[in-house]
Amino acid sequence: MEAGLGGWRTAMYAQLHAPLGPVVGERTAKEFASLRIHTVGDLLRFIPRRYLSGTDLTDLATLSEGEHVAVIARVADIRRHEGHGQPGRSARPGRLEVLLSDGHGRLTATFFGKTHLLTWWERQLREGVAGVFVGKVGSFRGNLQMSHPVFAMMDGSGRIVATSEEKERIATLATGGLVGLYPATARLPTWKVAECARLALAALAGVDDPWPAWLRERAGVLDLPTALAAVHEPASLAEAARGAERLRFDEALATQLTMAYRRADAANRPAVPRVAVPGGLLDAFDERLPFRLTDGQSSVSAAIQSDLARSRPMQRLLQGEVGSGKTVVALRAMLTVVDAGGQAALLAPTEVLASQHYQTIRALLGDLGQGRMLGAPDVATDVVLLTGSLSAAAKRTALLRAASGEAGIVIGTHALLSDRVQFADLGLIVVDEQHRFGVEQRAVLADKAAGRPHVLVLTATPIPRSVAMTIFGDLDVSTLAELPSGRAEVSTVVVDAASRPQWVDRAWERVREEVSTGRQVFVVVPRIGGRGGSSADGAGVVELADELRSGPLAGLRVGVLHGQLPTEAKDEAMGAFVAGALDVLVATTVIEVGVDVPNASMMVIWDADKFGISQLHQLRGRIGRGAHPGVCLLVTRVPAGEPARDRLDAVAGTRDGFELAELDLEQRREGDVLGASQAGSRSSLRLLRVLEHADLIAQARDLAAECVARDPGAATPGFADAIRATELLASPDWLERN
């Protein structure tokens, strides 16, 4: 796909991805880099957060301390305070206090200087006249103020009267009668961002739109040069809105094109069909299941069986609520492949989770997972575990069984990606917690198959439909929403440790009561090391465990588990808890996914406000996995009314993971959801909000499918460039799937 200017096929994409330095100057480009703005396109997609007419006053009530802002306000009052002392160095400067108003709220602009400067400012800042004031909002004695804002006053028609070079720059904000207010910093005030945007627009002069005319017409969007000008130099709010709509459409279509071409590529690559064999291992397993599959498990399993029987590779995402039974569905898919003569590999992100999967699957299979051992059924297969911490002898045995085909199911961590790991006939890859693996890692595992392997991706994080279209758009999505029968109810309570410290004492009493009935308890802590050495100051796992052992939980068997422990110590702690040798396990989020201890009926999440909504929901899913009712206590010192406290109240109010996922998405930056914060990489989504713009994403998905139908080889230059740009800018952990 790479040809032409620097690998780009269209002049527009070449210009948009050109470095910013030659356009705005290297010094200014370094300032923009702190805002994750590196190219001309980055800057042109950095649009004003709002627009004001030259006659509209800023709502001063919306200002916050620390913001760098440009406000339009009217001078309500001026007070002059002369300096003191003798002329010279010891003389204190005078002060001019200018009270700005929007008719309701007030903001003080303060200027310090000698007498002649006070007089000059006083002449410029006349009572009753409106102006644009640019600066940082601070506070003095509880009132908001701006010290030495740059300003330019307006005439009666709302036009800025420029009297200096700097004020002429401010005047550029009011092009076409609108003032665009950009997110700003101390070194990049809004007028300077606007000036640089104009330079970037000039760099695109005469460059054609990368999308074909038929596509723009079907989408009903402006051409790109017009849209960019409309965003940065609008004549009206309606024009600015149409420009922004085109930029959002571009983000949506670029992502959907990438996904659509990946789906098409996967469909064109042959895979070995894996057809269920009557009377085989799967049937034997189903006969022994001590429970009946839910309707959801049955329907999803049927869809997977259909996928596996085809000669093109399955590409399916299975998302399910915590405890919805994804493991059983995935195991049935693996057994189908084993029956058909192939092997299945399950890739997990951590040794704890890989070991948990191994134990769970061995327990579910019983002697069906004992291979050729004496007394095992004829249809039995071997299940092996391969992790980095295994002894050399255990690794050799596991490697031999995988390479010979004796092991139908191979479970492991990144150790599965080693060159030493070979398979006789790898037919299915099951990836748990897909977002924790990179492109190269998944490709290495897929390359161990003779043909194209089938792929089943598991996630316990409920994903709103619009997000699934955006980040899993090349996968068919199945959802398990219902919980299997026999699951216990879990109640969740917020414990206010600040205003009701006695509730914390009661929480530990409640832990003792739970243990006295034979149950077990998780205590989850957000950090390994503490900050202040006591629970009140934010203790870590070790400090809190020590406090509990010598205090409220004295006499109970309390263990510790966190990521920095040696592998043997982690396995020992988790194994002891699973075996019932520990009453309480104080842990970090290493127990967030995959850990299955049916006897654990209570969880205390310490400093719960440090966790996000989805993470709290995942943690809570570790209890109530057996027949015993569960209780989850969210301990916090955050007062009611704060956003962090609202998150906790939301988690306590519902167990619907999809409802919580949408709320989580509303409260987080899009880049975080798409994995852009991982490893410091950038997200390709700057303007698109996957919840707010779900209809636009759906439209782009349909149009992307039409693009593939019209141009199967992505010969259209704009299509090729959009795919390349998506892969360059987006986090590979989320957007790459093959």
Q: What is the pLDDT confidence band of residue 539, given thresholds at 50, 70 and 90?
A: confident
- Residue finishing a domain among 657, 675, 697: 657
Q: Give the least confident one: 320-324, 389-393, 733-737.
A: 733-737
Does residue 62 or residue 392 have the better pLDDT? Answer: 392
Does residue 423 or residue 592 have the better pLDDT? Answer: 423
Does residue 21 or residue 480 have the better pLDDT? Answer: 21
Does residue 292 or residue 729 have the better pLDDT? Answer: 292
Question: Nearest 5°: phi and psi at 67?
Answer: -75, 145
Do residues 499 and 589 both lie within one domain?
Answer: yes
- Name the β-bridge partners of 139: 144
Q: Is residue 319 part of a domain?
A: no
As a whole number of angstroms, the distance between CA 254 and CA 261 comes to: 11
DSSP helix/strand/coil, 26? helix
As a whole number of angstroms, the distance between CA 146 and CA 647 comes to: 34
- Amino acid 682: pLDDT: 41
As a whole number of angstroms, the distance between CA 197 and CA 46 comes to: 9
Do residues 519 and 621 both lie within one domain?
Answer: yes
Q: What is the pLDDT confidence band of residue 56, given thresholds at 50, 70 and 90?
A: low
Q: Compute the mean pLDDT over every residue in the chain, rounded to the nearest whole number.
A: 83
Do residues 517 and 440 both lie within one domain?
Answer: no
- Amino acid 612: pLDDT: 85
Q: Give the least confident one: 235-249, 339-353, 460-474, 630-644.
A: 460-474
Do residues 506 and 637 both lie within one domain?
Answer: yes
The distance in angstroms from the start CA to the end CA of the chain is: 18
Model confidence pLDDT, tens digit, residues 604-647 = 999 999 998 888 988 888 888 777 889 999 999 999 888 889 98
As a whole number of angstroms, the distance between CA 446 and CA 424 comes to: 13
Does residue 194 or residue 631 have the better pLDDT? Answer: 631
Work out the average pLDDT over 95-106.
Answer: 89
Scanning the structure block, which residue is given the tokens 């969740």?
492
Does residue 583 or residue 681 have the better pLDDT? Answer: 583
Q: Indicate the DSSP class of residue 208.
A: P
Do residues 509 and 651 both lie within one domain?
Answer: yes
Looking at residue 61, which CATH number applies to its domain?
2.40.50.140
Does residue 607 or residue 738 have the better pLDDT? Answer: 607
Q: Is residue 684 part of a domain?
A: no
- How many residues in the chain? 738
Do residues 442 and 526 both lie within one domain?
Answer: no
Identify the CA nearest to 101 among candidates 135, 129, 79: 129
Work out the average pLDDT over 19-36.
Answer: 93
- Amino acid 674: pLDDT: 36
Do residues 445 and 555 both lie within one domain?
Answer: no
- Amino acid 242: pLDDT: 96
Structural domain of residue 551, as residue ranges?
A: 490-657
- Amino acid 378: pLDDT: 83
- Amino acid 684: pLDDT: 53
Do residues 415 and 548 both lie within one domain?
Answer: no
Given a contact cutoff of 8 angstroms between Cβ atoms, the answer to whether 243 and 226 are in contact is yes
Q: Which long-range contacts (CB under 8 A, 24 or more apart) does 162-166 make?
A: 163/124
Q: Is residue 74 part of a domain?
A: yes
Scanning the structure block, which residue is given the tokens 């071409």?
261
Does residue 681 or residue 443 have the better pLDDT? Answer: 443
- Amino acid 290: pLDDT: 84
Q: Indicate the DSSP class of residue 51.
A: E
pTM for the structure as a whole: 0.65
Do residues 378 and 503 both lie within one domain?
Answer: no
Q: Give the least confident one: 274-283, 440-449, 471-480.
A: 440-449
Q: Is residue 694 part of a domain?
A: no
Scanning the structure block, which residue is given the tokens 């098409």?
264
Does residue 322 or residue 529 have the better pLDDT? Answer: 529
Q: Is residue 200 part of a domain?
A: no
* CA angle 640–645–647, rounded 5-degree value: 140
Does residue 583 or residue 391 have the better pLDDT? Answer: 583
- Amino acid 322: pLDDT: 67
Model confidence pLDDT, tens digit, residues 233-253 = 888 889 999 999 999 999 999
Q: What is the pLDDT confidence band of residue 550, given thresholds at 50, 70 and 90?
A: very high
Is the model's pLDDT at 72 over the cut of 60?
A: yes
Q: Starting at the edge strand that comes first in sequence, how are the strands of the sheet with 476-480 ordered?
A: 382-386, 407-412, 343-347, 426-432, 454-459, 315-320, 476-480
Q: Is residue 65 part of a domain?
A: yes
- Amino acid 12: pLDDT: 94
- Amino acid 175: pLDDT: 46
Q: Is residue 188 part of a domain?
A: no
**Number of domains into which the chain is organized:** 3
- Residue finishing a domain among 657, 673, 708: 657
Burial of 186 (0-12, 13-18, 19+ CB in 10 A): exposed
Looking at residue 605, which CATH number applies to its domain?
3.40.50.300
Work out the average pLDDT over 115-132.
Answer: 87
Does residue 471 or residue 347 have the better pLDDT? Answer: 347
Do residues 331 and 429 both lie within one domain?
Answer: yes
Q: Which residues contact 205 (CB under 8 A, 6 or more apart)?
A: none
Model confidence pLDDT, tens digit, residues 155-190 = 776 666 655 545 555 555 544 457 677 887 778 887
CA atoms within 13 A on the CB side of 579: 9
Cα dihedral sign for 680, 684, 686, 691?
negative
As a whole number of angstroms, the distance between CA 21 and CA 39 comes to: 8
Q: Which residues contact 374 (CB under 8 A, 6 or more apart)?
A: none
- Amino acid 555: pLDDT: 95
Do residues 368 and 450 both lie within one domain?
Answer: yes
Residue 258, amino acid: T
Q: Is residue 259 part of a domain?
A: no
Model confidence pLDDT, tens digit, residues 645-671 = 998 999 999 887 777 877 776 765 444
- Residue finishing a domain among 459, 476, 505: 459
Do residues 100 and 173 both lie within one domain?
Answer: yes
- Amino acid 487: pLDDT: 64
